[in-house]
């Protein structure tokens, strides 16, 4: 399953969410990640995210697509994904 995940959390939880998402997905921009996950991996990611998040303040949006080819990505401006690998 192709996943796009975007978090919006309090700044004190940003580091933990970044670390968590990086374990499962590829960083593409700021708090945006993409990648292929199985149903089980996705459930695990959500479970771990819920442990970090303050549920009535933070949010974590996940777009799921069964086929990556159905979605086209266009990046305008600076492609930041590569930098992410060195952070």
**20 counts as binding a second copy under rule CB under 8 A:** no
**28 counts as binding a second copy under rule CB under 8 A:** yes
**23 counts as binding a second copy under rule CB under 8 A:** no
Q: How far is CA 7 from CA 48, 69, 70, in A?
A: 13, 24, 23
70 vs 86, beta carbon nearer a second copy? 70
Which residues within the stretch 44-63 sit at the binding site for a second copy (CB under 8 A)?
46, 49-50, 53-63
Angle in degrees, CA 28, 29, 32, rounded to 5 = 80
Give backbone dihedrals phi and psi of 33, rounded to 5 degrees, phi first. -135, 155
Q: Which of 37, 66, 82, 85 binds a second copy (CB under 8 A)?
A: 66
**4 counts as binding a second copy under rule CB under 8 A:** yes
**26 counts as binding a second copy under rule CB under 8 A:** no
Cα(70)–Cα(14) distance, integer angstroms: 30
């Amino acid at each position: 399953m192709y996943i796009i995940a975007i978090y919006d959390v309090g700044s004190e939880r940003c580091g933990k969410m970044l670390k968590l998402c990086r374990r499962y997905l590829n960083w593409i921009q700021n708090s945006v990640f993409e990648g292929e996950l199985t149903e089980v991996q996705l459930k695990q990611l959500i479970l771990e995210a819920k442990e970090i998040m303050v549920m009535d303040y933070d949010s974590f949006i996940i777009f799921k697509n069964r086929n990556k080819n159905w979605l086209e990505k266009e990046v305008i401006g600076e492609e930041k994904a590569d930098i992410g690998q060195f952070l």
